[in-house]
Amino acid sequence: MPRLQLWADATQTVFGAGTRNAEMMLVGEQPGDQEDLEGEPFVGPAGRPLDRALTDAGIERGTAYVTNAVKHFRYKARGKRRIHQRPAAEHLAPDAEHLAACRPWLTAELAVVKPDVLGCLGAVAAQELLGPSVRVTRDRGRRLDAPSLAPAALVTAHPSSILRSRDKTERDSAFNALVDDLRAAACLLRPNR
């Protein structure tokens, strides 16, 4: 797919946000509706549980660099509503390569920030960065090797999965698991925390 086609319908490119000195980089999937309008990652509904989980894990969001594997909102228009479409990649859906098209940007962000810990939020970022065999349910919360990307890597669930919980028990449990994983990521930075 030509790279231009990806951003054709988006309001703007949503690059990462944060300091270039960040020790931790968090990579999500792709901007949603709100992110597309504001031009910042994780400022919409999925950003709220992420912010709370970061706080509970003792991580100040401003000290991390937060970005996405895909830099443009992808949606289908339904009347006035814009319905989010997942990014496609060769290993996820053979007909499109949104992740591949945006990979040079992500690679550039990694090269500039040089994070000590790379945190992948959800399967799309995890498989794009760490390989198609990574499974969030099996591998979450533990140190993974990605020597070409960062000294340590870790995967966790995408914060939007909390929003899809069926009830409060499931939501609390999903949220607490995210906090635990982010705490584990912080421990990779400071083992004595």
User: Interface residues with ligand URA (CB under 6 A)?
Assistant: 28-32, 35, 41-42, 44, 46, 68, 160
Q: In the complex, what is the shortest distance from the CB of residue 29 to ligand URA, in angstroms, rounded to a whole number?
A: 3
Residue closer to ligand URA, measured from CB, 41 or 115: 41
- Residue closer to ligand URA (CB basis): 32 or 119: 32
Instruction: Note whether 150 and 119 are within 8 A (CB).
Output: no
Residue 23 or 128: the one with the smaller Cβ distance to ligand URA is: 128
Q: Which is nearer to ligand URA, 23 or 35 (CB)?
A: 35
Shortest Cβ contact with ligand URA: which residue?
Answer: 28
Q: Single out the residue of 16, 31, 126, 7 nearest to residue 65, CA to CA.
A: 16
Residue closer to ligand URA (CB basis): 49 or 115: 49
Q: Which two tokens stand for residue 193?
A: 């925390």
- Residue 60: CB minimum distance to ligand URA, A: 18
C-beta of 117: minimal distance to ligand URA in Å?
18
**Nearest alpha carbon to residue 136 among 119, 115, 148, 150:** 119
Q: How far is the CB of 113 from ligand URA (least distance, A)?
A: 17
**What's the closest the beta carbon of residue 28 comes to ligand URA, in angstroms?**
3
